[in-house]
Structure formats: structure tokens, C-alpha cells
Amino acid sequence: MFSRIFWIARVTFLEALRQRFLAFLLLLAAAFILGSVPLRSIDFGHGELKFLADLGFGALFLFGSILAVVLPAQLLYGEIDNRTALTLLAKPVGRGEFLLGKFFGSWAVLGVFTFALTGLIGIILLVREPDVVARAMALQVVPPEVSVVGLFEHALLQWLRLGIIVSLALLVGSLAQTFLYTVVVGSMAVLASQLVWIAQDTLANPEAVLSTLMRGALWLTTRIFPNLQGYNIGETLVLGQSTVLPGTVSSLCLSAAVYLVLILFLACTAFRRREI
Amino acid sequence: MTDKPAISVQDLTKDFRVGLRGVKLRAVDHLTLSIPRGQVYGLLGPNGCGKSTTLKIVLGLVPATSGSFTLLGHDSASPEARARIGFLPEAPYFHRFLTGRELVRYCARLSGVASDRVDAATDEALELASMTEAGNRRVGTYSKGMLQRIGLAQAVVHDPELIVLDEPTAGVDPVGSAAIGKMIQAMRQRGKTIVLCSHLLGQVEQVCDRIAVMDRGRLVLEGHIDEVLAQRGVHQISVEGLTPAARQAAEEALSSHGAHVLKVDHPRQTLEDLFRRLVTGSRD
């Protein structure tokens, strides 16, 4: 089983690397990140490194999310529309194995995307760090410090977050009949997951006046959608702007793993019933 | 186990829901069919008659509305059955960036060929499909005939007992089509069961042992090719050097025995035979 998943993932990865869409988004995100360097003087009073990190991480998540929704949908529907899926699924390949192969292939591409862009952001931050530190020393304020370990941890969390989005897109794709529907509904699911913290905060607020129905709807929303905003701790990890509680990264990794297993299980179950 | 048919279909029905109102469209209508082992079996019918849907159901790619079916005596969803079949869908598309050899190797691995046998199995399949030389070219550069042939190679790389070919010659020129016909013959000689869906009736007539004809989801004819095509009450005699006098004498002789000459004309070769004789080389 693992061998078949590996081979499907490998071919999916190679196919995805050849997609113009990936190259386009990678170049666009890189241009966005590099474009922030000449604009660093407009830092809105938050400090140059924070400005560069904000824009970089924002570009990584924005373009990464678009890629994480569109790429698996494109690869899944491409194989179904072109009948490649018929050829493969007539072999002793389970539907779940096929879908997991698509997931791991797409996720591997997003790993390349995430770590390549994080590398670029890291280079920019490390190049600018000495100037910023010198200025801070001159002003006798505590200088910011770029953490390479924090950069790696942030990249890992973003990769996991994009993995959750890929699995959501595959879940929608397993149920939907068209590529466009998958992209639209998948994007809406990502938006809901990105905003689910509002529902969590509202439920946690003892002063919030909520009807039973509203409370139930909010509770359900927090249970269905993963809180993707929770993975947004890049500044804290990389620039040490505030303290990261011990175990936060591992707790987020565990949470992502649980969501990945659950969503992929649902996607595989739905895909088993699908007519190819 | 070997006495069980390669494919057995009992009272199979498939309905599709189409449109917003979910109007029922019956693609396969109470079909019962038994495909014996070791033969080339032609499944014929016009477009939309339910041939491909029947094959997809049997291969476990589409669920049936009702009815039962087995593949080599097993449930079609079972890995045992799937490991013993090869399938070439209509107008197949393969990953354009892989070479033909890489594609066949990929399919060998998915089909459960042992790691130490993958290279040898790939070479054998490429040779059978006459794709050894083109095996190192990317699939994206292949002609339509070569795509079909590499499709055949991926279908047989794991040495399956049953090979299902859905329109293997669609869009292929007569030379390529004849090459595919030869491959089918070669596979039959190896004892394989081949199910062939095709619109090329001439080819079906040449390679198939039995045929079934479907129309509007129903089976309208099934039997051995010689039995279903033979006109039992009419005989054909080919004569060389027939003069008018000889013809008159022959007609009188036949008439005296109660037989009547229905038609006398010159035998025709098929256009496909003429074309293949004139165009001997493959442009692939």
C-alpha cells in the first residue's frame, strides 16, 4: 500500500512541478517579498524587520493558500477528465491510496514552495539585521534578533497549515463534480478556517449575549473548521516580539496532524463512493 | 476456478441522473452476459449504447444500480481480481512528461510487479507493443497510434489474465490499427482473455472469437463470430476463367438440382486491405 501511495505521490509531485501555475505563483510571491525591501522605510512605526517579516509571511500564506486550493483540485480533476484515473484505478490501487498519493504529491510541492520562500524571507531578514541592530544600538534600544530556528519552526507550521488546506480541497474535490466548484467551495472553507478564531473568542467571552441557536452554530463552527489563524505566530518565533509558550509549536503540530488524519479520512471515504 | 468465466454479468442495470431535476437515464438495461476465458470477445454497439459503462461497472469504476457481476470469479473490487486484469480506456491520456518506459515502469509498480521483475516486465511489454525504440521518448511527443500502443504496454506489463481494451484503435490510421490487431492476436496466442470494444467492425471480425452487440443498454445479439455472420442457406463459390458458355452450363446444372444462382460478380478486396498493401511502413 505504502509503495503505491509513494509512486502516485512521486508522479503527482513531478507533474505539479511542471505546472505553469506553480511557477507563476512562486515568482509572484518572490517578487512580492523582494518588492518589500525597497518599501521598508514605510514600516508604519513597527520596525523594519517586523515590516519585512509581515509582508513576507503574508505573501507566503496568501499565495500558498491559493496554490494549496487550486493545485490538488487541478491535479485531481486533470486525472479524472483525462481518464488517467481510470487507468490507475482499474489496477490494484485503492481509491484511498490514489487520493493519499495526490495529497502527499501536492503537499510535497507546497513544502518546496514554503521552504523556498521562507529561505528568501530569511536571507532578506538576515541581510538587513546588522543595519537594524546598529541603528537600535545607536538609539540605545533593545535590538531585534532574527532566529534561524524560529524561521524553520515557522516554515514547518506554515507547511502544516497548507497541508490542512490541501486536505480540505481534496475533501471538497471528492464530493464536487467540477473543478470550479472545488476551487470556490475550497476557498470558502479556507476563509472560514481563517476566521474561526472569532467564533472561539465570542464563545469564550462571558459578556457575549448569544441565543442558544447562535451559541450552537458557533460551537459547531469551531468544531468543524480548524483554526488556521492559530498558526500565525511567525513574528514571535522569528523576531521574538513576544514570548512563545513552551510546547506551542509541538501542540500546533499535533493539532495539524489530527486535522490532517480526520479530513483525509473523510476525503477518502467520500472518494470511494465517487463515479469516475 | 479456471472454469468460471472471465466476466460474468447478471441482470445488470445502470441509471444515471442527469440535469437539475435528476431525470433518469438508463445506460445499461438488465444486461446478462458471460465472457469465456481464453478468447477474444468483441463488445459492439453504437455510441451511447452502454458498452463503456458496462466495462466501467465490471472494473469497479462505476457502481451498478442493480444486478451482479464477477471478474475472474472474484468481486471486481478485490485486489486479487484487479491484479489479474489490464485495462486500456478509450482515448487514454498519460503523463506527458514521463518517457514511455517510465510510464510502463510506474504502472508495473502500481500493478504489484515484484521490484526485481519490474525492468524485465517493462522491456517485455514495450517489445510486445513495438515501443522498445520509442520507449525513451517523452509521452508528450507520441503520435496517437503510439499513445495507444504505450497504453497497451501499460495494460499488459503485469502479465494479466484478462485484458480489456476500450476502442484501442480509435483515431489510429489503418497501419497502426493493423499493428494493434497483431498485438491482440499475439496476446490471444499467449492464452489471454481479451475484451475488445471497437467501432472497426472489419477488425473485430478478423480478431474476435465471439461478439456481443448492444443497443440502448440491451444485449441484442451474442454468439460465435462464424455462427452469427454465416448465411446458412446461401453458398459462395469462387471461380477462375468463367466464360459465358461455362456460366450458362453451370447455371443449368445447378438449376437441375433445384439450386438457383442469386448473384455473379467479381470479388472485391476491402479498402483497408488495399490501403495496407500500398502503405506498408508505419509513420510512427
Tens digits of residue pLDDT in B117-139: 999 999 999 988 888 888 899 98
Read off the C-alpha cell for B171: 483515431
Predicted confidence at residue A185, as pLDDT, reads: 92
Predicted confidence at residue B200, as pLDDT, reads: 78
Render the burial of A159-195: b for 16+ CB within 10 Å, e for the rest.
bbbbbbbbbbbbbbbbebeebeebbebbbebbebbbe
Element holding B134 (H helix, E strand): none
Note whether B94 and A15 are within 8 A (CB). Answer: no
Measured between alpha carbons, how far apart are the two ends of chain B, in Å?
Answer: 42
- Cα gap B6→B40, rounded to integer Å: 11
- pLDDT tens column, B202-252: 778 888 889 888 888 898 888 888 888 777 778 888 888 889 999 999 999
C-beta atoms of B85 and A275 within 8 A: no
Q: Cβ contacts (< 8 Å) between B19 and chain A: which residues?
A: none
Q: Which residues are paired to B221 by β-bridges? A: B213
Predicted confidence at residue B96, as pLDDT, reads: 85
* Domain containing residue A223: 2-272
Predicted confidence at residue B1, as pLDDT, reads: 47
User: Is pLDDT of B190 > 90?
Assistant: no
Read off the C-alpha cell for A147: 532566529
Give the gap in angstroms from C-alpha B85 to the nearest C-alpha of chain A. Answer: 7
Which of these, B110, B86, B158, B70, lies nearest to A93 by C-alpha position?
A: B110
User: Chain A residue closest to B79 (CA)?
Assistant: A92
- pLDDT tens column, B43-100: 988 888 888 899 888 888 888 899 999 888 888 777 778 888 999 888 778 888 889 9
What is the sign, positive or negative, of the torsion defined by CA atoms of B255, B256, B258, B259? negative
B131 φ/ψ angles, rounded to the nearest 5 degrees: -120, 15
> CA A151, A152, A158, A163: dihedral to nearest 10 degrees?
170
B107 contacts chain A (CB < 8 A): yes
C-beta atoms of B88 and A87 within 8 A: yes
B205 CB neighbour count, 10 Å cutoff: 12
User: Is pLDDT of B283 > 50?
Assistant: no
Measured between alpha carbons, how far apart are the two ends of chain A, in Å?
Answer: 21
C-beta atoms of B61 and A89 within 8 A: yes
C-beta atoms of B94 and A90 within 8 A: no
- Cα gap A29→A23, rounded to integer Å: 10
Q: Cβ contacts (< 8 Å) between B151 and chain A: which residues?
A: 87
- Considering only the beta carbons, identify the residue of A11, A14, A83 that sits closest to B92: A83
Give the gap in angstroms from C-alpha B164 to the nearest C-alpha of chain A. Answer: 10
Q: Cβ contacts (< 8 Å) between B111 and chain A: which residues?
A: 91-92
Band of pLDDT at residue B282, cut at 50, 70 and 90 = very low
User: How many Cα atoms occupy the beta-carbon half-sphere of B96 within 13 Å?
Assistant: 10
Predicted confidence at residue B240, as pLDDT, reads: 87
Read off the C-alpha cell for A72: 490538488
Q: Number of residue pairs across A and B with CB atoms under 8 Å? A: 73
- pLDDT tens column, B5-28: 889 999 999 998 887 777 888 889
- pLDDT tens-digit profile, chain A (276 residues): 788 999 999 999 998 888 888 899 999 999 989 988 887 777 665 678 888 888 899 999 999 999 999 999 988 888 888 778 888 888 888 899 999 999 999 999 999 999 999 999 999 999 888 888 888 778 777 777 888 888 999 999 999 999 999 999 999 988 888 889 989 999 999 999 989 889 888 888 888 788 889 889 889 888 888 888 888 887 888 787 667 777 888 999 999 999 999 999 999 999 988 877
In A90-233, alpha helices (H): 95-138, 148-175, 179-204, 212-224
Element holding A2 (H helix, E strand): helix A2-17
Read off the C-alpha cell for B142: 507520441
Read off the C-alpha cell for A34: 523582494
- Cα gap B145→B97, rounded to integer Å: 18
The interface predicted TM-score of the complex, written ipTM, equals 0.77
Q: Cβ contacts (< 8 Å) between A7 and chain B: which residues?
A: 106, 109-110
Q: Cβ contacts (< 8 Å) between B164 and chain A: which residues?
A: 90
Which of these, B119, B175, B115, lies nearest to B146 by C-alpha position?
A: B175
Q: Cβ contacts (< 8 Å) between A77 and chain B: which residues?
A: none
* C-alpha pair distances (Å), A146 with each of A125, A128, A243, A271: 7, 10, 14, 44
Predicted confidence at residue B284, as pLDDT, reads: 44
- Cα gap A174→A187, rounded to integer Å: 15
A83 contacts chain B (CB < 8 A): yes
C-beta atoms of A93 and B110 within 8 A: yes
B117 contacts chain A (CB < 8 A): no
Q: How many structural domains are present in chain A?
A: 1
A117 CB neighbour count, 10 Å cutoff: 24
Predicted confidence at residue B40, as pLDDT, reads: 92
Q: Which residues are paired to B12 by β-bridges? A: B31
Give the 3-state secondary structure of residue B40. strand
A32 contacts chain B (CB < 8 A): no
As a whole number of angstroms, the longest Cα–Cα distance in chain A is 70
- Considering only the beta carbons, identify the residue of A3, A18, A87 that sits closest to B87: A87
Note whether A171 and A224 are within 8 A (CB). Answer: no
User: Chain B residue closest to A97 (CA)?
Assistant: B110
What is the sign, positive or negative, of the torsion defined by CA atoms of A62, A27, A162, A79? positive
Note whether B211 and B221 are within 8 A (CB). Answer: yes
- Give the orientation angle of helix A248-272 with respect to helix A148-175, to 10 degrees: 20
Q: Cβ contacts (< 8 Å) between A89 and chain B: which residues?
A: 60-61
Q: Cβ contacts (< 8 Å) between B83 and chain A: which residues?
A: 91-92
